Amino acid sequence: MTNTTGEIFKVTTFGSSHGKAIGAVIDGCPANLELCEEDIQIELDKRRPGVNELTTNRNESDKVEILSGVFDGKTDGTPITAIVFNKNKSSKDYEYLKNKPRPSHGDFTWISKYGNYDYYGGGRGSGRTTIGNVIGGAIAKKILSNYNIKVFAHVRQVGDIKAKEVDLDLIEEYSKSNNVRCADINAAKLMEKRILSLKENGNSVGGVVEVVTIGIPIGLGEPVFGKLDGEIAKALMNIGSVKGVEIGSGFKIAELTGREANDEFYIEGSNVKTSTNNSGGIIGGMSNGMPVIVRIAIKPTPSIGVLQRTVDLEDMKDVEIDIKGRHDPCICPRVTTVAESSLSMVLLDFMLRGGFIPPNNLNDKNK
């Protein structure tokens, strides 16, 4: 089982939903980055559960501690270990789930493959393990922002409620104004209503989250294996509940003609730009300098509070379960932070691999 991602900026995540702690070890972070717990906490707070009625009511403060890799307020080039202790566990809620896999959660495949499976709160298959992604992503984001690269995500769709297109410059500000994290304020109200009504009936809903990246230099990514779009798709599909990834016009491009789909070039000052961005900022596996636009399809939360059919794997018989515990009625709002983090880690890794950022020591950039 691999728990590590990245080639130079390597992030290993550890921990489970009801275990003692969750966290990440980051190896390959250049020395001399100013880093404190608050830099990571800001991002964890955006992912934190229990903050409003659209999220699970498991109330965790998710306070992070940095155990290693920072000396005198700066990274020293050694592995950074950051940890969050689980506080608000309610493991008894999961006793009845032993050997009874929840439909569409990872329980069945984990039990079948590994046998020894921590079924409390989904164990390591829980959305809670994305705390590790957010720790790695917070550090990646901080370095990227020093190079004027911005990564942000917002909710585009909940169920069949779609947000209208919002200006790129306004998305971040507008999506911060509501709990759904949708930049179309009117759609956000409808989405919130839909999520709450499904929650009341013990049901859940999925949606679409869009991640936007601006300021990426030309040439990030590799042309054959290691394409930027390929690595982004992989990183985002590695987040639990993500079932689809589209870049640029995505699946809609199949309906267009070449005349409609081609992104024509033009000169603006000393820059080459494209008049449209159907490619989503990536051509030939490499960034072309335009905003990188990625959308992910999120499935409805699998743990729902209605009677469902499943099996008892010990007695090998059909049974029914009514899932207890505390669950997000819609994963989309919280996944925005996780998606930003996963994408930031890919981008930073390519920045380091391509020599856009000195690999060992950020002081090198002044040499």
Ligand X SMILES: Cc1cc2nc3c(=O)[nH]c(=O)nc-3n(C[C@H](O)[C@H](O)[C@H](O)COP(=O)(O)O)c2cc1C
Closer CB to ligand X, residue 56 or residue 279? 56
Give least dist CB 334 to ligand X, A: 4
* Residue 336 binds ligand X, judged by CB under 6 A: no
End-to-end CA distance of the chain: 41
Question: Can you tell me whether residue 137 is helix, strand or coil?
Answer: helix
Smallest gap from Cβ 105 to ligand X, in A, equals 5
240 near ligand X, judged by CB under 6 A: yes
Burial of residue 21, with CB atoms counted within 10 A of its CB: 0-12 exposed, 13-18 middle, 19 or more buried: middle
Q: Which of 79, 299, 324, 358 binds ligand X (CB under 6 A)?
A: 299
Number of residues that bind ligand X (CB under 6 A): 21
Residue 207 is inside which H or E element, if any?
A: strand 207-214
Under rule CB under 6 A, residue 157 binds ligand X: no
Q: Does 241 bind ligand X (CB under 6 A)?
A: yes
The residue among 187, 227, 228 whose CA lies nearest residue 208 is 187
Q: What letter would DSSP give residue 153?
A: E
The distance of closest approach from Cβ of residue 291 to ligand X in the complex, given in angstroms and rounded to an integer, is 24
- Assigned token pair, 121: 């709160």
Task: Count CB-CB contacts under 10 A for residue 105.
Answer: 20
Which residue number, 35 or 294, has a Cβ lying nearer to ligand X?
294
Q: Interface with ligand X includes 249 (CB under 6 A)?
A: no
Sign of the dihedral defined by the CA atoms of residues 41, 42, 44, 48, in that order: positive
User: At its nearest, how many Å lie between ligand X and the CB of residue 106?
Assistant: 4
- Closest residue to ligand X, based on beta-carbon distance: 127
CB of 357 to ligand X, least distance (A): 28
Residue 292 CA to residue 229 CA, distance in Å, equals: 9
Among positions 31-60, residues that touch ligand X (CB under 6 A) are 56
What phi and psi values does residue 295 have, to the nearest 5 degrees?
-120, 140
Residue number with CB closer to ligand X (277 or 337) = 337
Taking CB under 6 A as the rule, which mask of x and - marks residues 99-118 in contact with ligand X? ------xx------------
Pick from 109, 34, 108, 103: nearest CA to 75: 34
Site string for ligand X, 312-331 (x = CB under 6 A): ---------------xx--x
Q: Does 77 bind ligand X (CB under 6 A)?
A: no
The residue among 75 and 204 lying less far from ligand X, judged by its C-beta, is 204
Could you tell me the smallest distance in angstroms from the CB atom of residue 55 to ligand X?
8
- Is 338 among the residues that bind ligand X (CB under 6 A)? yes
- The residues binding ligand X (CB under 6 A) are 56, 105-106, 122, 125-127, 130, 239-241, 299, 301-303, 327-328, 331, 334-335, 338
